[in-house]
Structure 1
């Protein structure tokens, strides 16, 4: 075959970018046998599909590289002293092969709340980093991120140790109050006839510790050491009383500290203060309530006062002399029906 056939073969080879060196056409004579051999070589030397995995990231490529090292050079990947490649760089490249490249990246290890280690690693997963650094996990250890997580540059890997302990403590048991009725007491009057007494319980708690710091506890059991004693209270049911020949019917009785005032003026309800006006704490005796105060007589809750809080009342008198005579007394205030 002459020069024209050689040009055809040259074009066929170069159009497919085959790695075959062709001498200049003016110096090439190619026989039919050689053409067949070259075409066979072209078929053998066709691009091979492989998967290149760099730090866990796969990429499908086609290559004419003969060795793994050639493939890395083709992909412009330069290995550092601690970088790893599998198969080895001098291994041949086969069709369909998976080639893994692990390059070194910095990571931070935070171990059990005590140590912080800066490390460089070529491992692709968190589990590999821990194994590479000789870190053995206990049954209660927790790893963040998870063991199968792909390692990234600058990643922080935290290992915490969860332990369980117990503690025992004594706690008070509250007592209950039992109410009984007494027809001898006025309504609203209670009398303790037996004081209550708290009991004692011994509790066992399961405590969770994360790196030695308690994070939560669960009650396992509670045993009564001393049972509580109920408080017994008599509650009055007597709803009427005779005063000055008159029967007074009431809803309840309040034992109050009673003081006196005078001077006139307007009340909190807009009325004019006069005898029978009683200043109260509205949270105890609602404004407008009719009352009977021992030693004072009938009155109406019409006023309030800055110092009138709780079981306190202020009684209006016409004169300062009456105010002085009253002074301060502890009286029963009957809230009328």
Structure 2
């Protein structure tokens, strides 16, 4: 191939590799100072921005140890204070919950936060009921938190039992000093009994028959309390008592004034009353009425009361049955004397009345006519009342 042809060929297809490489090196060398800077500057800015943002992100992130009801965990947060962190983690707190440190405390990396939720306890302490709250997780912790002395106490739940968020009911009876006085001797014990009766039994004292305590047996035994046992023996006694009858008086115009006639005799009733006789610690007590029963009701007595005017002279009483009265009073014997020697004669005068009517001596020594005369005078003054049982014979 001719040289002319080779020169045309290079001209047509460009410079040779050696020639081309030299030209490119000379071109890059000529443009490096400004073009390279323009090309690398945006990349450098992007890298710088990313590096600065990562540094700020890492600076705001904090590692916090959060413990909720005794369960710890480590977390990363951007929250500024305790309250924001708890809200971020969905941990709700109420008025009975405990948060440490306080909710408005600012956060720093490495801080520790503790949350203990409150739990309701329906506490019955020595017979008295309380509604309390505790942040303790167990019965033992709750007792310590509430200041309840558990040594020697009765607990309705074990001290190790856990308390859930719903709480629990807890019955606590602390140990108390209790004294029983019985049979002239004092017995002092320490007890967590629920009732006085139970504490008395723990003291080794037995109640028998009608024995009673100085306080109700089902009451709560208090610390330092002294209870006395009353040894009681007793019996019942039934007594019969009369019930008085009422007297009804009716006016009768056919009877002389001052005269009373029993139309229907009264009859007393009968009541049986039961009395409780007791001896307490050897001392006899006053009988106590326990009950009564009416065996027979009283019958009312009816009395006729005369309203007829009396005669003005003894002769006005001549029409009365004096013989019938004398037969009833003395059997018709003018010298009759009653067993006591107080009354004598046909009409059984006592000496005082006989003398008030004008008589002398003894009525049983006077003639029958005088006795009848003075009986009529007595009738004019007092009607039939001097002869309550036989006076009605005057009209028979």
Higher strand residue share: 1
| Bucket of the pairwise TM-score, normalised by the shorter protein | 0.3 to 0.5
Higher helix residue share: 2
Question: TM-score, normalization: structure 2?
Answer: 0.39
Question: TM-score, normalization: structure 1?
Answer: 0.44
Larger Rg: 2
Larger RCO (CA within 8 A; separation ≥ 6): 1
